[in-house]
C-alpha cells in the first residue's frame, strides 16, 4: 500500500478512536451506566457522532484503498485528509448543536463520494483493459 | 486485488450507502429528529436494516478479500454477488414487515459463511504448504 | 498478506460472529421482537458486547494489517491473538455483570493500541526512508 494512504488510514482510525473516547467520557460525565446508550441528550449526541463515524468509516476506508490501487494514490491520500477534516468539524458541531452538523457531514460525504466514484471508474477501466 | 472482487466490493458498499440514505429519508418522513434513533416503528426498521447490513459488511468484506487471495477470486466475486442480492432482498422485506426478513438474511448469511469457511481453509492450506 | 495474519483475521471475525449469534439467541430467550434493541437488561448487555466488538473490530483489523505490512507480521499475528483473548474475556464478563467488563476490555485495548502505534511508526519510518 502507498505510504501516504497508509498514514491517512491510521490518522482516520485515530479520529474514530477519539469519538469512542468521547462516548466513554460522556458516560461518566452524564451518569449513564452501561449498557444504556440513552438517558441524557448530550450523551446521545456523542453516541451518534461515534456511530455515524463508524457507519462512514466502513465505506470510506475500502474506497480509499481501492481508489489508491486503481486510480491515484496521492489523490486518495488528499481526499482522505478532507474526510478527516470533515469528520472533526462534524463531531465538534454535533456535540454543541445537532442542527449545525451538516457542514462537516457534507465535507466528509463529498470526500467519500469522490473516493467511491473514482474507485468505481478505476476498477471498471482496469477490467475493460486487462480483464479480471 | 482481482478486478471483479474490487468491483463487487464497491457495489456492496453502494448497497450499504443505500441503507444509510433510507435512514436519512426515514428521519424526515417519520419526523424523528437527531440524535434519536427510536420513536417510530417504520423508522426503527430502516435503522435496523442499516445496522444489520453494517454488522454483516465488516465480516463479509475481509472474508471476500481473503477468499479471493487464498482460494479463488472469481468464485469470491460470485459469492459477493449472492451477498448483494441477499442484502437487497432483506432490506426490502424488513422495511415492509420484519417477520419476512429471514429469506434475504439467509441468502447473504450463506454467502458470508461460504466466504468465511473458504477463506479459513485456503489460509490453513497455504500455511501448511508454505509456512507463514 | 502473511498467512498467520490472515488466519488471525479470520479467527477474529469468528469471535465477532459469535457476539452476533448471542444477540440473535438473546432475542428469542428474552422475548425481544425485532426491530427493538432494548427491553430486557440481559439482552441489552449482549447487544452492547456485539456493538463494542464491532466498534473495536473496525479499528483493530486495519491496524493489524498495516502493522503486518510496515512493521512485523508475526508480532502482528501475536498481538491479534491477544485481541481475541481480550474480546472473549470481555464478552463473557459483560454478559454476567457489566461492572466486570474492564479486564477483557483492557486486554484487547492494549493489543489495539500496540498495533495502532506500531503501524503508525512503521508507516512513518517507511515514508522517511522511501517516500510515498
Angle between helices A41-70 and A102-130 (to 10 degrees): 20
CATH architecture of B3-130: Up-down Bundle (1.20)
What are the grid coordinates assigned to B65, written together?
478479500
Share of chain C above pLDDT 90, in %: 89
Average pLDDT of chain B to the nearest whole number: 95
Long-range CB pairs of A24-32, under 8 A, 24+ apart, other chains included: none
The answer to whether A46 and A26 are in contact (CB under 8 A) is: yes
- Cβ contact (<8 Å) for A10 and C45? no
| pLDDT bucket at C37, cuts 50 / 70 / 90 | confident
- Cβ contact (<8 Å) for A44 and B35? yes
The answer to whether C127 and C76 are in contact (CB under 8 A) is: no
Which residues in chain C have their CB less than 8 angstroms from residue B58's CB?
A: 16, 54, 57-58, 61
Q: Look at residue A131 in the predicted model and tell me its pLDDT.
A: 73
Share of chain C above pLDDT 70, in %: 99
Count residue pairs from B and C with Cβ separation < 8 A: 64
Span C6-24, average pLDDT: 97
- Cβ contact (<8 Å) for C33 and B59? no
List chains touching B (3+ CB pairs under 8 A). Answer: A, C
Q: Look at residue C48 in the predicted model and tell me its pLDDT.
A: 94
- Cβ contact (<8 Å) for C37 and B54? no
**Residue pLDDT, tens place only, A113-127:** 999 999 999 999 999
The answer to whether C14 and B116 are in contact (CB under 8 A) is: yes
Nearest CA in chain C to A65: C62
Rounded Cα distance between B63 and C12, Å, is 11
Q: Which of A62, A98, A120 has the CB atom closest to B35's CB atom? A: A98
Contacts of A130 (CB under 8 A, 6+ apart): B3
Radius of gyration of chain B (CA): 17
Q: How far is B31 from chain A (nearest CA, A)?
A: 14
More confident residue, A70 or A34: A70
Q: Which of A124, A62, A65, A129 is nearest to B7 (CA)?
A: A124
Rounded Cα distance between B11 and B80, Å, is 9
Residue ranges of chain B with per-residue pLDDT less than 50: none
- Whole-number Cα distances in Å, B90 to B45, B97, C111: 11, 10, 36
| pLDDT bucket at C131, cuts 50 / 70 / 90 | confident
**Residue pLDDT, tens place only, A60-94:** 999 999 999 999 999 999 999 999 999 999 999 99
Q: Read out DSSP for A51-91?
A: HHHHHHHHHHHHHHHHHHHHT-HHHHHHHHHHHHHHHHHHH
Q: A36-49 burial string, b = 16+ CB within 10 Å, else e?
A: ebeebeebbbbbbb
Rounded Cα distance between C41 and C61, Å, is 30
Per-residue pLDDT at C39 exceeds 90 = no
Contacts of A85 (CB under 8 A, 6+ apart): A107, A108
Q: How far is C80 from chain A (nearest CA, A)?
A: 17
Which residues in chain A have their CB less than 8 angstroms from residue B57's CB?
A: 58
Per-residue pLDDT at C21 exceeds 90 = yes
Q: Look at residue C132 in the predicted model and tell me its pLDDT.
A: 62
Extents of the domains making up chain A: 3-130
Residues of A with CB under 8 A from a CB of C: 1-4, 6-7, 9-10, 13-14, 16-17, 20, 33-37, 50, 54, 57-58, 61, 73-74, 77
Nearest CA in chain B to A1: B1
Which residues in chain A have their CB less than 8 angstroms from residue B17's CB?
A: 59, 116
**DSSP tally for chain C: helices H, then strands E:** 4, 0
Q: Look at residue A132 in the predicted model and tell me its pLDDT.
A: 62
Average pLDDT of chain A to the nearest whole number: 95
Share of chain B above pLDDT 70, in %: 99
What are the grid coordinates assigned to A27, written together?
458516560
Q: Look at residue A37 in the predicted model and tell me its pLDDT.
A: 84
| pLDDT bucket at A39, cuts 50 / 70 / 90 | confident
More confident residue, B35 or C11: C11
Q: Which of B3, B34, B57 has the CB atom closest to A132's CB atom? A: B3
List chains touching A (3+ CB pairs under 8 A). Answer: B, C
Rounded Cα distance between C41 and C43, Å, is 5
Amino acid at each position: 500500500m502507498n505510504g501516504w494512504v497508509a498514514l491517512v488510514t491510521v490518522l482516520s482510525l485515530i479520529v474514530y478512536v477519539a469519538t469512542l473516547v468521547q462516548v466513554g467520557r460522556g458516560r461518566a460525565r452524564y451518569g449513564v451506566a452501561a449498557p444504556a446508550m440513552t438517558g441524557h441528550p448530550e450523551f446521545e449526541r456523542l453516541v451518534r457522532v461515534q456511530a455515524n463515524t463508524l457507519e462512514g468509516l466502513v465505506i470510506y476506508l475500502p474506497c480509499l484503498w481501492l481508489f489508491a490501487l486503481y486510480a491515484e494514490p496521492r489523490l486518495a491520500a488528499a481526499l482522505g485528509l478532507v474526510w478527516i477534516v470533515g469528520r472533526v468539524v462534524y463531531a465538534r458541531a454535533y456535540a454543541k448543536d445537532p442542527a449545525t452538523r451538516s457542514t462537516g457531514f457534507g465535507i466528509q460525504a463529498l470526500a467519500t463520494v469522490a473516493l467511491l466514484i473514482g474507485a468505481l471508474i478505476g476498477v471498471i477501466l482496469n477490467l475493460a483493459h486487462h480483464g479480471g
